[in-house]
Structure 1
Amino acid sequence: MLLPASFSHPRAALTRAVRRGAGLATASTLLLGSPILLAQSEALETITVEAEALSVVTEGTQRYRVPLSSTATRLDLTPRETPQSVSTVTRAQIDDFSLDTTNDVLESTTGVTVERLETDRTYFTARGFEISNFQVDGVRVPMPYNNVHGDMDTALYDRVEVVRGATGLMSGSGNPAATVNFVRKRPTYEPQASVSASLGSWDQRRLEADVAGPLDTEGRVRGRLVAAGMESDSYLDRLSRERGLLYGVLEADVSDSTLVTLGHTWQQNNTDGNMWGSLPLYDSAGNPTDYDVATSSAPDWSYWDVETHRSFLEVQQELGDRWSLKGTLTHLDMLSDTQLLYIYGTPDATTGRIADEQLTLSKYDRHLEQWMADLHAKGDVDAFGRTHQLVVGTDWSQSRNQQESRYPTASFEASGQGLPTLDDWDGRYPEPDAWVAFPGTDGDATIKERGVYSAAKLDLADRWTAVAGARLSWFDTTGEQYGVSQDTSSDHVLTPYAGLIYDITDQASLYANYTEIFNPQTEIDRNGDYLDPVDGMSQEVGLKAELFDGGADASLALFRTEQDNVAQPAGTRPDGTSFFTGGDGITSEGVEATLAGELVPGWQASVGYTYLEIEDAGGEATNTYIPRHLVRATTSYRPAALDALKVGARVRWQDDIERERDFADGNTRQDAYALVDLMASYDINESLTASLNVNNVTDEKHLTSLKWDQAFYGAPRSVMANLTWQY
């Protein structure tokens, strides 16, 4: 490979690849010169680099697999070297199926359910537990309340990686569910640009632009700018959305061994006619409701606006040929402003009406500010005649969550009529002209967490590898939320990570894994002391293999996940406050099977199946709103005889779910269903591509979640047409 002597290599990716002596694509694919550089190449001295780089960037590859992941341990490991279940949704999948929000992406991920409880608030589950751990570019991001406000746009992401099970090594505190890592796009060494326009059902319009490349003649400074905008009405009555996104990032080779990156993301979500809560699932007599798909419980004056700013600074320093040091500082600022109506209880069984007394109106404001920092060193160590990988690091975060709920003043006059049957409601209900806060309807709490961690990939013998690590965490919360004290602390909590891998052949491995995580509690014991944190533990054994001449990764896993020391009511103290004791919590067991990659030339697939059992401490089935059988599958095919054409399908299937009713005897049930999406794209020429997506082609009517005692219906059949130009 010939390069101008003045050109700076992508040191981190290239040096790691040289150390490992492994590669799939030559480093020249990352270093093809810009026209400016090529024009100078004849006048400059050339050097030859005899190495290959193992690239983890998925955009432009058209592939449904990645060769490396560092989400589980921060070590750069192949799927077979990672002793834990990992799934990735690549840029190709995002583009093929127009997965424009993170909710869309996670609905395509093995073992993950997306609980759309309201139109603008979403929870996620994996292995029977709520997902509470998230990362951006591998850096831990605390997520208060385990939910996402609004739709997070995916235009800025290269891929989304999900590690299932307890992930305390890199996550610190949380639930033993999974960690979701959003990996951002970065500047490129070649100039590139794209513009994409989409039109779809319910008057949806989307425009997206992405430009990247070198900013100086030597290519030592590079940049990227991503912009996206969307406007849409909805299949739901009165609901409309606007979303804007800007993402800018600069990186500079300040020396031959130092890379500095600076970036900022702005996103604005404005929703009108949004629901707080959802539709009642049964009436006062316990009869199931069966509303039209378009039915909404939102008045015409409701809204939910969210503005998010996220800035980050990274400095990466190469320490010789075998080690690197990386520091990251991130700041997040999120503002939410909402005006809402909520329905308590159930509609009258005879008239279908909902009384004024069953309605709550609120104006809710929230300000979340977070600071996050991470510093780690990573490299190779020679010992006992073998080479091992090691990472040592520390991280710190501070999250301040301020919120206030206000309610109508005493002078507010309700309609006196309540609401009619929701199918017939036009959204009209008196809008308060003034709002007032009451004692205990606000909150201001700060969470601080810091930790030190280390992990190693140990080359034990020719066919034996171990991945081991540990984290030591300190956690502290102060403040109140809605009149409830949040004061709690946990010091020097140890969370281990252990995995063992045996290579049966050069293409297949057996593995076993044990991981932990902890979750602080605010409940007190008989003596008034806070309970120790909840312990989350995961055990997993399985088989991983490279199939189809190394083009695809397959896995089969058996897992068990549990929580211990969960607060259980134990009595009342002399001062009248309740006290608790730690007891057994939920246990989940199951099987997962995955396949991702190129099965034959032109055929990409990502398929996953999950079987799950969830029991409480008494051995009874619990969290029955989570499917016990779950299939996630995406596939696309580009025929060799007509390589301008690509066709594909996405399938999301789950078995029946149910939940016990809060206000009546019996259970509410959602039968098993499958959602089938189809896509087709055609390359008109080298720069222009047209595509068509049809979602829910069978027009399946289904509820989006049964996590709460309310729900709304998912989207019926829809169509999206897209035209993309790229350079």
Structure 2
Amino acid sequence: MMRHGAAMSGHGTLRPALRRGAAAVALLALGTPALAQTATSPAPSQTEEVVVIGQRLPGSSAVKSDAPLIETPMSVSVIDADRIDLLGQLTVNQALRYTAGITPETRGGVVTRYDQFTLRGFAINNSFYNGLSGMYAGWYALIQPDVTTLERVEVLKGPASVLYGSSTPGGLLDLVGKRPVDHAVNSVDLTVGSRDLFGLSADLGGRVDSDGKVLYRLVATARRGDGQAVTTENERMVLAPSLTWKAGENTTLTLLGLFQRDPKSDGYGGVPALGSVMDNPLGKVSTRFYDGEPGFERYDRTQKMAGYEVEHRFNDIFAVEQNLRWQDVETDYRQVYASALAADNRTLSRASIYSVEDAEGVAVDTRAKADFATGAVRHMALVGVDYQTQDATMEIGYGAAPSIDIFNPVYGQTIAQPPVYYDIDIDFHQTGLYAQDQMKLDRWVLLLAARHDWYKQTQTARRPLAGEQVVDQGKTTYRGGLLYHFDSGFAPYISYSQSFEPEGGVDFNGQPFDPTSGDQWEAGVKYETRDKRTLVTLSAFRLTRDNITTTDPDHPGFSIQTGEARSRGVELEARIGLTETVEANAAYTYLDMEYTKDNSGLKGKTPTGVAENTASLWLYNTFRDGALKGLGLGAGVRYVGKTWGDAENSFKVPSYTLVDAALRYDLQSLSDGLEGWRLDLSVNNLFDKEHVSSCYSTAWCWYGATRTVQAGLRKSW
């Protein structure tokens, strides 16, 4: 059964919203476009913002080590907090707009409660947070840490199961939270903007004691505003404390917490294709149309997380690390949603749904590392074991709702509480044992890794039928890569990687299904200048996802695992320091994705929300001298090509091109008495281009975000 709000493509019965995959490649460490400096630059003042472009990222998600990205034979994009802040982006989904391999915001500007997009051809719902799975149970209780709490977003492209266990072949996102640093980071931000946006946030941190053995960080945010759809609103309150204790020269412990309350979360509905992507003889549906009922609907979510990261170094060779997180996500969701448009082209039939969920779990990852040499070969080796467990309870009901006129909607109709349909508990455990060695001989880099996972899920139902379903599966995955780093800065590479996802259900003979799997070959070349201000990656890939369940032609009503999806394409991603003050970021993706084997009519089709071509260009200039000293100006253009609007590929969603702009001004340039004060202004979709982000069917399409303007005032000290 496809649940309302899923609007996903793909096969599978276990955790359907995670059954996605496809492919693309690239690597881009996006440094802040303002005041970028190299590692040899002078130390900054307290109020100066400096990010080292192309720097090594401690604990990089790609290889769980501090190996530089230029020597990593796989594709990773990194978006730092300053880039997110500069563009006034309030969600991770928005932060991915300039990232290659991604068709962003498939739910457009109306839906902001989830970060929904396609990566290498398939929808990605489950984000990782600080290297640990978000433990998505498959319905509506998803984590979504606020962007103000994040240090950076790492996009791992292609299969990543060898280090992370169950994940889609398209890749995964690792959201890296802010943590204490050994210098003062104190700032307060006031933000106002379109749709009555008002926000206040603080980021405070530094030393607790004079020796710097104890460090702290506290991020607090409160924000409210109106949604793009009429009558919808959003509210959020966030508190993210962290504390680091340097127990000795070789031992560090960091405690991390997050409490986030989202009493209101905009809308979750859409518009019919007639009147948005297709001509309707009665006119155009408003970009602010709301298909729900304000008196009935709600999405109230509470996220709680607590954990730690500990590292102990025994000597120059051996070290051990462990990170652990407990999390609990509670949601109370009610929605009235569109069903179909009547023959009169204006009457939209609707239905209702509600869901009350509580998903609580623990994830832990422990790894031992060794940095050593055998002759002329240097090894960065690690062996680890991770474990996660979750208990999720959910009560879900479906009901009727009165229709509505899409051109003259009248709200306030009475909606009865839907009757309970599902009443289930889901309990799962996953254990993985993995090993990896990144070997370097002169300028050659060879990466080899392997992992085995044990996965067990038990679903206990009380409704609609009492019973228990158990999925008990295991899978071994591999990854390998070879790279040569020339003195000139070029680094050609080739890699192979695998992924898996558990698959529930049985075939006609009662045999449990095997996990679905993904395999990717990728080849490319990276180029990085010595000052690390320019980084370019050109890559090509072919990814296949197989063991997909599809209709059993010999036994109607049953499935067999003979389905297959293939994704292949080329990506170019570049960050170029044009001058000392001007930086350009560019991305282009060509993606050819289709179902290559299927018995239900999908063979040769492309999933919805997947663009064949995407491209973007961002330019930013910082004025350091003259009358404009202290001013930063940026402008960007992003293009998303046509996408198919339904599973049958019967109609297409038009392409769109949008323009963004940003301004940043250091007010100290006006007076020394304004030291630490900064003004920010960002405009997204500058020309207010009306566009549809994607469709799932003729009944469900989503308008993209209309023009938004944000102004901010920051005080740092």
TM-score normalised according to structure 1 size: 0.84
- State the distance in 2 between where 1:661 and 1:579 align: 20
Distance 1:707 1:600, change over 3 A: farther
| Alignment pair present for 1:690 and 2:672 | no
CA contact (8 A) 1:61 1:92 kept: no
1:339 is aligned to 334
Aligned residue identity for 2:523: V
| Alignment pair present for 1:217 and 2:210 | yes
Distance 1:65 1:200, change over 3 A: farther
Aligned residue identity for 2:610: I
SS of 2:311 mapped into structure 1: strand
1:671 is aligned to 654
Unmatched segments (≥5 aa) in structure 2: 1-36, 598-602, 669-674
Distance 1:161 1:580, change over 3 A: same
- State the distance in 1 between where 2:266 and 2:73 align: 46
- State the distance in 2 between where 1:589 and 1:483 align: 41
2:450 is aligned to 470
Distance 1:157 1:266, change over 3 A: same
| Alignment deviations for residues 177-228 of structure 1 (CA, whole Å, 9 cap, x no partner) | 0121111111121223100101111111011101101112322111110001
- The alpha-carbon deviation at position 424 of structure 1 amounts to 1.2
1:369 is aligned to 360
1:595-674 matches, within 5 Å, as: 595-596=574-575, 598-618=577-597, 620-641=604-625, 642-660=628-646, 667-674=650-657
| Alignment pair present for 1:279 and 2:271 | yes
CA contact (8 A) 1:64 1:604 kept: no
CA contact (8 A) 2:516 2:548 kept: yes
SS of 2:302 mapped into structure 1: strand
| Alignment deviations for residues 93-147 of structure 1 (CA, whole Å, 9 cap, x no partner) | 1121112221211233221223217623443221112225532222333333398
2:16 is aligned to none
1:37 is aligned to none
- State the distance in 2 between where 1:427 and 1:94 align: 36
> Alignment length, in residue pairs?
654
| Alignment pair present for 1:320 and 2:320 | no
1:555 is aligned to 537
1:156 is aligned to 149
| Alignment pair present for 1:235 and 2:228 | yes
2:511 is aligned to 529
| Alignment deviations for residues 600-619 of structure 1 (CA, whole Å, 9 cap, x no partner) | 21223332111000121256
| Alignment deviations for residues 494-540 of structure 1 (CA, whole Å, 9 cap, x no partner) | 10010001234441111000000011211313321112111101110
CA contact (8 A) 2:325 2:362 kept: yes
1:50 is aligned to none
CA contact (8 A) 1:267 1:308 kept: yes
- State the distance in 2 between where 1:234 and 1:179 align: 28
Unmatched segments (≥5 aa) in structure 1: 1-22, 35-58
CA contact (8 A) 2:116 2:125 kept: no
- State the distance in 1 between where 2:578 and 2:208 align: 39
| Alignment deviations for residues 56-75 of structure 1 (CA, whole Å, 9 cap, x no partner) | xxx94245544336212212
2:420 to 433, 437, 458: 437
| Alignment pair present for 1:108 and 2:98 | yes
Judge which range, 697-706 or 303-312, deviates more. 697-706
Distance 1:470 1:187, change over 3 A: same
| Alignment deviations for residues 14-55 of structure 1 (CA, whole Å, 9 cap, x no partner) | xxxxxxxxx97479969x9x9xxxxxxxxxxxxxxxxxxxxx
| Alignment pair present for 1:172 and 2:172 | no
Distance 1:508 1:601, change over 3 A: same
CA contact (8 A) 1:66 1:88 kept: no
- State the distance in 1 between where 2:223 and 2:196 align: 10
TM-score normalised according to structure 2 size: 0.86
2:347 is aligned to 353
Aligned residue identity for 1:570: D
- The alpha-carbon deviation at position 92 of structure 1 amounts to 2.0
CA contact (8 A) 2:308 2:325 kept: yes
SS of 2:116 mapped into structure 1: strand
- The alpha-carbon deviation at position 655 of structure 1 amounts to 1.1
Aligned residue identity for 2:579: V
CA contact (8 A) 1:552 1:597 kept: yes
- The alpha-carbon deviation at position 717 of structure 1 amounts to 1.7
Distance 1:122 1:185, change over 3 A: closer
CA contact (8 A) 1:677 1:697 kept: yes
- State the distance in 2 between where 1:150 and 1:391 align: 29
- State the distance in 1 between where 2:683 and 2:623 align: 21
- State the distance in 2 between where 1:394 and 1:691 align: 44
Aligned residue identity for 2:242: V
Higher relative contact order (CA 8 A, sep 6+): 2
SS of 1:454 mapped into structure 2: strand
CA contact (8 A) 1:406 1:437 kept: yes
- State the distance in 1 between where 2:368 and 2:646 align: 50
| Alignment deviations for residues 466-520 of structure 1 (CA, whole Å, 9 cap, x no partner) | 01111111111111477586521112x1100100012344411110000000112
Judge which range, 243-252 or 651-660, deviates more. 651-660
1:444-459 matches, within 5 Å, as: 444-459=425-440
1:47 is aligned to none
2:395 is aligned to 404
CA contact (8 A) 2:131 2:176 kept: yes
1:206 to 189, 199, 219: 199
SS of 1:255 mapped into structure 2: coil
Distance 1:490 1:366, change over 3 A: same
1:10 is aligned to none
